[in-house]
A and B are shown apart, each in its own frame.
Chain A
């Protein structure tokens, strides 16, 4: 890649760290359904839980391209860890950086950036998935704040989170215009981790159902403006797609690594050469789309289309790459305990989380039809 010298150095450093520290534990987490805690602690020590945030808020003061590189390299070593970092950074922290008051930033960002605890983002509900405006969790005005009632599903990191950005409606009749975002502290009374989801893959990541029972949130924890929540989570999701793209890219690269390692020095057919060439070409294209989206974001341009390109293409590339690697290498890979066996389970989420491929296509079509 033609990254700047600084980015190249950083990539090398992260890759070495990920391969030596993160990768060795990936199977253990997967097989035991164990949260990737040791990895998160190691990442926190390196400052990798706050890469793009300013130094005065406890971040590394680097850019989104560097952040994408980190998520890619970590996911290549352990997808569960990569997803945890992506959700923590892009969903759990970014909205505070972007929409928070000075006071909120000072209070909530440093512990997240340092990794004292993780951040999470509570939007999805049993009846509000791709149609995020269908949020049923309610917020009611009370003395000095709000009372929140309702539930959330598929919330990454929440059992290990100190803060969760929660979307709730002040008035269901208003649809998406009734939604407000709150910074909810998980130590608050009425914040309940209801149960852990039993997932197909990414077994080392934490995904839970949340319940809010008369949960009090002080007024100063409203993120952005009242009734302004829809814009906040839409923009958060757009940016989050860069990191999900990078997460998928890491898994795709890992599948390619396995293929190349297997084929090197071995007699191989032209069909194997084709499999390797096709996977490598798609991975290269996915990487350029992800980096391009990150560079665009770093330039301060909001680029819904680029983010959707990156997420759609990288996620589908990753699924195909893992599939192709398994078909090419054969039976040895079809074990729960093999890298590709784990990846086969981990990779599918990329096409679903933070906007399904179908939603990505609608976003892109909207932009494309708007442009000309």
Chain B
């Protein structure tokens, strides 16, 4: 095991950190307030290769290892949480399943345009009545001629309002439960596809999170991803990988909150001295730093398991996500506490980080689901 990052990984980290500081952080508060999707930023992300991190060079990508992807997601999120998840979803939830399960034809058709950011990706699994229990999904797909006809809807879909390509899960054999789910690649202009309402979120507000609606939506047969009725495996396999990135996002948000806390505690004077000289404040900073470092190591470790070709790493990625998410919520709450009254206002960014952090414990598998995944693996 070696957590000393490679030179390439350090270069990547410095490059993305610099970009996030200059380009992302200054606009994060405005994006949060307006809840507008950062369209211009997407182009810049693509120019830096950050939208093609899971895509092989053969298809125009800049394929990196998963430790590098985690590093990039952490740094982007440190500048702007919304941009962090936009990047993560595109790379891991949308592009990676095509890289992993797509046909050669699908890869050639979609990946080069995903790499340039021309096609932004999204992932449609969750429904109004199918969250932690995705196998209970109600969206149906029926073969008619050479097309599948999709009916149903999806909720809480990150990137949806700005995406042109969706990995969508629907039941092709409802009587088979989770074994009757198929994955489809759906383009935005397929007939019968439309966007529902834009969610007004507590945090991560600039992520174009919308409902997807399928009304006799026509999806050509060749857009089936993987095998018919094997979609549930694709969903779970993809989430195993993407949870690492949510862990990385949580680390980025927490790191940002720690830095704001350090800076403030040095400047803020009470009782005649900077509050960083009080042991209670120091104990908070130490606790925050320790848990952030532990989270980061769990994220790297899970990513490294993936990179070294370990076939099963659900337990490691669930641990990374669970611990990093819990840490992000705790650290951002403490940051608000250290900044006190100022922390409670929009003059300072920590209240936004506190709102952004909460979703880490919910999406891509709640903390409760992560614990079930971990316990199941340990008791198997």
Residues of chain A having any CB pair with chain B under 8 Å? 1-4, 7, 260, 263-264, 268, 270, 272-274, 276-278, 280-282, 284-286, 288-289, 291-292, 295, 299, 305-306, 308-309, 312-313, 358, 360-366, 368-369, 372
Contact = CB atoms under 8 A, between A and B. Distances in A.
A273 B287 contact: no
B262 A285 contact: no
Contacts of A368: 258, 262, 285-286, 289
Contacts of A280: 319, 374-375, 378
Given A260-B378, A276-B374, A368-B289, 4 more contacts: A2-B1, A277-B371, A277-B374, A365-B276
Nearest to B258: A368
A365 B286 contact: yes
Interface in B275-317: 276, 279, 281-283, 285-287, 289-291, 293-295, 297-298, 301, 304-305, 308, 316
A372 B266 CA distance: 11
B319 A288 contact: no
Nearest to B1: A2
B379 A364 contact: no
Nearest to A306: B293
Contacts of B316: 284
B375 A309 contact: no
Which has the most chain B C-beta neighbours within 10 Å: A280, A286, A313, A362?
Answer: A280
B379 A260 contact: yes
Main secondary structure of the interface of B (DSSP, over half): helix
A39 B370 CA distance: 40
5 contacts: A4-B1, A276-B378, A285-B319, A364-B289, A365-B283
Nearest to A312: B290
A interface, over-half SS: helix
Interface in B238-269: 258-259, 262-263, 265-266
Interface string B313-331: 0001011001100000000
B271 interface: no
Contacts of A289: 290, 293-294, 297
A368 B288 CA distance: 10
Nearest to A363: B286
Contacts of A366: 282
A311 to B, nearest CB: 10
Given A289-B297, A365-B286, A284 B319 contact: yes
Nearest to A266: B379
B266 to A, nearest CB: 7
A270 B290 contact: no
A361 B258 CA distance: 15
A309 B286 CA distance: 8
B293 to A, nearest CB: 5
Contacts of B175: none
Contacts of A292: 3, 297
Most chain A C-beta atoms within 10 Å of own C-beta, residue among B258, B281, B319:
B319
B4 interface: yes
Given A280-B319, A295-B1, A288 B301 contact: yes
Contacts of A282: 323
Contact of A361 (B266, B282, B293, B295): B282
Contacts of B289: 305, 309, 364-365, 368
A355 to B, nearest CB: 12
A274 B371 contact: yes
Contacts of B372: 270, 273, 277
B279 A362 contact: yes
A263 B376 CA distance: 11
B8 interface: no
Contacts of B2: 2, 295
A369 B370 CA distance: 34
Contacts of B301: 2, 284, 288
Nearest to A3: B1
